Amino acid sequence: MRDRWPGESTRLQRKPGALARAAIKGAWLLYRLVPPSLRSRLGGVGRGAVHALVEADLFPAASFSLRHNGTSFKLYVVKDRFWAFSAYSRWADGTAVYERVMLECLTRLLRGMAHPGFIDVGAFMGHYACYATALLGDKEETYAIESNPQYYSALLRSIELNGFSKLKAFNVVLSDRVEAAGIDKQTVLLFEPQETRTHSMTLDELCRREGIRPKIVKIDVHGSEGKVLLGMGDIMSECLEYILLELSPLDVLRQYSGAMGRSDILTHLEQHGFHVFHMAGHRYPGSEGLRQALEAGFAYRRLNAKSSDLLLFDRPQDVFVLCSKRADLETILGPSVADPGLELDSLV
């Protein structure tokens, strides 16, 4: 459910929030009725509709009560972020858990490991970091790194809302070296920052400074993952056991990670002793269908630098890869099952 932030006006804020959720549900139902072949043609119309809704101030700042597998936490969301308001509204209403496959995978890893020292890189407003901290009962040190000052402030409010004492947040830009860095709305600019506000640092340096020895790291940095990974070689060799990595499309990687492509990133991971697995379902539609599919197990497949182009060439969206020092995932995730992607539309 959506909660009010202390001091928020009930009369002025709750009505727009209700209108926004109604608009989101209506748009989602209409979207599901449109044939897949026509959906891409509606992109411009959809962007115009979102702009109109934002201009109408239907997406105020809000806190959401979220729950997954018996673990509950609260999340604060800044105003005028349509997709975030949409995703967390649907989660709070029980319609769809956001990024369910990655969340389920993280749950298995955290429950199976003592002192995981979990780091959420690219924490956004903190839903992975807050979930992990709540799952661990606020008894284990967890860390969240967010470069955007606005989202970092929201993350701090989420920590306060939950009363967490073990979740530490950092407003840091990560890269493979110290270089000028700026923030343009939601984008980190490393190569030619227009408004330089800070300098980047490596994850290795941050961990040395703070005395952190992580075993699990989640990375979602919208194309900068190549540079982030190049700057964490020490912890990859010394203590890290798992990386939950959102791997961006090639054009986005080229823009924010320089010359690195997907195969280059996989080669780098292999050189540090990681086995890489593509986890199906990261961007599949339909929470109920995906929930049913995950009851049968995870669908995953081993990748390497040579096979990645063959498997990922026709995937224009972000993909989720699990990087493990273990060559066998069965003891943690069970045996791989069939990719449910073709069946999900019928289950929604």
Q: What is the pLDDT of residues 223-257, one digit of tens each?
A: 999 999 999 999 999 999 999 999 998 888 888 88
Predicted confidence at residue 310, as pLDDT, reads 58
Most confident of 207-221, 278-292, 326-340: 207-221
Q: Can you name the CATH fold of 99-347?
A: Rossmann fold (3.40.50)
Predicted confidence at residue 193, as pLDDT, reads 53
Q: What is the pLDDT of residues 142-172, one digit of tens each?
A: 999 999 999 999 999 999 999 999 999 999 9
Instruction: Provide the whole-model pTM.
Output: 0.81
Q: Per residue, what are the HEC states of the chain?
A: CEECCCCCCHHHHHHHHHHHHHHHHHHHHHHHHCCHHHHHHHHHHHHHHHHHHHHCCCCCCEEEEEEECCEEEEEEECCCCHHHHHHHHHHHCCCCCCCHHHHHHHHHHHHCCCCCCCEEECCCCCHHHHHHHHHCCCCCCEEEECCCHHHHHHHHHHHHHHCCCCEEEECCCECCCCCEEEEECCEEECCCCCCEEEECECHHHHHHHHCCCCCEEEECCCCCHHHHHHCCHHHHHHCCCEEEEEECCHHHHHHHCCCCCHHHHHHHHHHCCCEEEEECCCCCCCHHHHHHHHHHCCCEEEECCCCHHHHHCCCCCCEEEEEECCCCCHHHHCCCCCCCHHHHHHHC
What is the average pLDDT score of the chain? 81
Q: Where are the domains of the chain?
A: 1-97, 99-347
Predicted confidence at residue 220, as pLDDT, reads 96
Banded model confidence at residue 70, pLDDT cuts 50, 70, 90: very high
Predicted confidence at residue 68, as pLDDT, reads 93
